[in-house]
Amino acid sequence: MTRKTIKVSNITCAQCAKTIESYFDELESIDAKVLVTSKKVIFNYDETFYDTLKIADHLRVIGYHPVLTSEAQEKAKKREQIDLIITIILTLPLLWTMFAHLGFKLYVPEILMNGWLQLAIATPILFYSGRHFFNQAYHQVKARNLGMDALVVMGTSAAYFFSIYQTIVYRDHFHMMPDLYFETTAVIITMVLLGNYFESRVKEKTSDALQSLVRLGAKEARLYKDGVTTLVPIDDIVPGDEIVVLANEKVPLDGLVIEGSSYIDESMLTGEPMPVSKNMNDKVVGSSMNIVNTIKIKVTAVGSDTILSKIIKTVEDTALIKPKAQRTADKIAALFVPIVVVISLLTFVLWLIFSESGNISSAFAPAVAVLVISCPCALGLATPTSISVGSGIAFKSGILYKGGEFFELANKIDAIAFDKTGTLTKGHPEVIEVIGDPVYMKYTASLESHSNHPIAKSIMDHYDGEFESVKDFSVLIGLGVKGSIDGKLVAVGSKKLMKSIDASNTFDDQAYVGKGYTIFYTSIDLEVKNMIVISDPIKPDAKQMIEILKSRGITPYMITGDQEETARYIANQLSIDHIYFDVLPHEKAEIIQIIREEKQVIAFVGDGINDAPALKMADVGFAVGSGSDIAIDTSDVTLMSTDLKLVIDAIDLSLATLRNIYLNFFWAFAYNVVMIPLAAFGYLNPSLAGIGMGFSSIMVVLNALSLKRFKFKTEAKGGTI
């Protein structure tokens, strides 16, 4: 079976996923799984029966637009914009007539009140602009999976065809015909298209996570063969080949060091900021960064066997495992559509049987009134209006929601797992304390100014004096650095380095052992002059945030690639009881799955590339805005600052938004419960139904705007919660 991922521009919700998956389930030798948030479909198929173009044709048959190239994506986006602009332009004159129909004293040109002109305007809106609603509604009905598309088709078609009937009956009256509802058809189509358009633009604010991961990989490698080094495409390398990696170059592929030694930045894999020393026979990972010396590597894995490829596959697969939250509107539509259709048919039959005239015309009006009165405008507006207002409030507070699904999950979160480095801690080493005569810091900082190690940067950030001239600088891999300043031999590094050069050491480091600190010493002419304590500090608001979560019955977890000693120390400082350490990226996703078996809904907060699988696997992924683009891309919520109180704020605002959505649905339903019986019994003609529908929609919008009064329970004061 061949695996292929195709981007589809007009996937908007879980209902689209069900429609696509149901369609391909009926075909032989192919299956489809939809990634709703990234608008992608993953196909597994027999390439003897299908290719990319055939699959794309099948998608078009059911009303979905495959995007096979970046140029096609831009064209699809432009076409979508043009369609929307044309729809709005055509809708405006019909919207003008609506105010006249509702009794407002507003001048309307007589020609606009002509039923035939309104028919001419409404027809392209319904059958061209709204064509994909009909396509998708057809396949929803076929799959017995009704959603908002079916509601839109039902309401707009009822208003459209009833208006045609009225236009024919009153063909001799060209103005102020109260029972024309062409504007209802136009407004519903336009509103839903507008909502889908804005939602698509929000999702496009982040780049494609999988493409970002792919771009991490090197495209070429320096192949060493028969004493000659040649730059070749990465695809030409096979396991067993030897490749050369220069300083400040990416390691192209996974392998073993067979010559040289260096420091490798593996933060893309582990999330830890400290480079790792690599010597003979040490493993290196493709896409990590060689930062000091040239090394030679024997390749052990290529293609899909590399660690980076496994991360990409894990991100993709966990997105499929992650439950797709079905929107409340779609859940309601699944029941509401058949109920309304049944009521309308019963109304038609009963009026046909029991009315005095007993003709089709007298039965048709109340039956259509039921469909018009139950028009999905209020239901369609209930969710997007609240989410739009809530998202606006969130954005101003530094929170970016990427989809409506989060609002329906936030009230169920009962566990939150945190990455350590860069999430609970600041993510970069800082000098905590310098023990010894401060005058010697100029030697320490001057020597470290020639290194690009994160420890060196932390020392230079701490030092604010002038640098001395350094000669004979060299890096001692895994130990430290050394050089000559003013004729003196200066070395900066670990205790192991001090022992190796027989430097006398009178500093006691026992108070810092087992607490996650890094200890460096400076020796001058083999005499240790200072001890520098370096750490990745815990964020000042982390402990209070953990306490708030616990008080709400939410269990905190810590998942980190760091070693056990450091992990336990940080967890104890924050009162986190559940800890996972020495964890690889794909293992983080597996741990999230294990926790999910015990908990109802789990969230994950992370910032690194190594967090991407876990962010996808979690029911809700929070990305800290200072983190990698890939972590942000794969998350459901982006916190646009490092302030951890935003986790609490995001949950609180989502709960308020969800309550607002439910109140909208209550109003929309209350309206339907009262109005549908009145329409069925003939007490409400379609004209009054239209007024009621408009009033219902206005109430939904006003209720959504009431969210602007929301106040966050946590307020940042002096950098704390």
431-470 pLDDT per residue, tens: 988 998 888 999 999 999 888 777 888 899 899 888 889 9
Tell me: do 129 and 157 sit in the same domain.
Answer: yes
| 585 compared with 289, residue with greater pLDDT | 289
Tell me: do 328 and 201 sit in the same domain.
Answer: yes
Whether 396 maps to a domain, the answer reads no
Residue 419 falls in the annotated catalytic set: yes
Evaluate if pTM is beyond 0.85.
Answer: no
Write down which residue in 25, 41, 68 finishes a domain: 68
Tell me: do 496 and 586 sit in the same domain.
Answer: no
Whether 297 maps to a domain, the answer reads yes
CATH number at residue 54: 3.30.70.100
**Tell me, what amino acid is at 481?**
V
CA separation for the pair 40, 33 (Å, rounded): 9
Whether 336 maps to a domain, the answer reads yes
242 confidence band (pLDDT: 50, 70, 90): very high
Q: What phi and psi values does residue 145 have, to the nearest 5 degrees?
A: -140, 70
Q: What phi and psi values does residue 218 have, to the nearest 5 degrees?
A: -70, 150
pLDDT at position 82 is 86
Q: What is the pLDDT of residues 560-584, one digit of tens each?
A: 887 788 888 889 989 999 999 888 7
Question: Which residue's structure tokens are 């799959």?
Answer: 143
Tell me: do 128 and 187 sit in the same domain.
Answer: yes
CA separation for the pair 27, 435 (Å, rounded): 72
Tell me: do 129 and 183 sit in the same domain.
Answer: yes
- Residue 156 and residue 187 in contact, taking contact as beta carbons nearer than 8 Å: no
Tell me: do 86 and 196 sit in the same domain.
Answer: yes
Tell me: do 520 and 554 sit in the same domain.
Answer: no
Tell me: do 546 and 528 sit in the same domain.
Answer: no
**Number of independent structural domains in the chain:** 5
Percentage of the chain surpassing pLDDT 70? 78
Q: Which of 149, 179, 419, 633 is catalytic?
A: 419
Instruction: Identify which of 95-104, 529-538, 709-718 has the greatest average pLDDT.
Output: 529-538
Write down which residue in 502, 535, 568 finishes a domain: 535
Total residue length of the chain: 721
Q: What is the mean pLDDT of residues 605-623?
A: 81
- The answer on pLDDT for 501 being more than 70 is yes
Range of the domain at 251: 217-309
Sheet holding 262-265, edge to edge: 249-250, 289-290, 262-265, 276-278
pLDDT at position 302 is 83
The pair of structure tokens assigned to 342 is 């049944």
CA separation for the pair 471, 488 (Å, rounded): 10
CATH number at residue 298: 2.70.150.10
pLDDT at position 377 is 55
Whether 60 maps to a domain, the answer reads yes
Sheet holding 2-8, edge to edge: 30-35, 40-45, 2-8, 66-67
Tell me: do 460 and 528 sit in the same domain.
Answer: yes
Whole-Å CA distances, 223 to 219, 237, 243, 245, 298: 13, 8, 5, 9, 10
Whether 649 maps to a domain, the answer reads no
Whether 211 maps to a domain, the answer reads no
**Tell me, what amino acid is at 634?**
T
| 210 compared with 280, residue with greater pLDDT | 280
Residue from 142, 50, 305 nearest 41 by CA: 50
Q: What is the mean pLDDT of residues 47-54?
A: 87
The pair of structure tokens assigned to 38 is 């990234």
Whether 651 maps to a domain, the answer reads no
558 confidence band (pLDDT: 50, 70, 90): very high
How far is Cα of residue 480 from the mean position of the Cα atoms in its chain? Answer: 41
Tell me: do 226 and 81 sit in the same domain.
Answer: no
Within 10 Å of residue 318's Cβ, how many Cβ atoms?
Answer: 23
pLDDT at position 146 is 65
Task: Identify the weakest region by mean pLDDT among 203-217, 258-272, 492-506, 661-675.
Answer: 203-217
Whether 667 maps to a domain, the answer reads yes
Non-local (6+) Cβ contacts of 607 within 8 A are 271, 419, 422, 423, 427, 623, 624, 626, 627, 628, 631
CATH number at residue 563: 3.40.50.1000
Tell me: do 136 and 188 sit in the same domain.
Answer: yes
pLDDT at position 207 is 39
Write down which residue in 607, 640, 673 finishes a domain: 640
Tell me: do 526 and 549 sit in the same domain.
Answer: no
174 confidence band (pLDDT: 50, 70, 90): very low
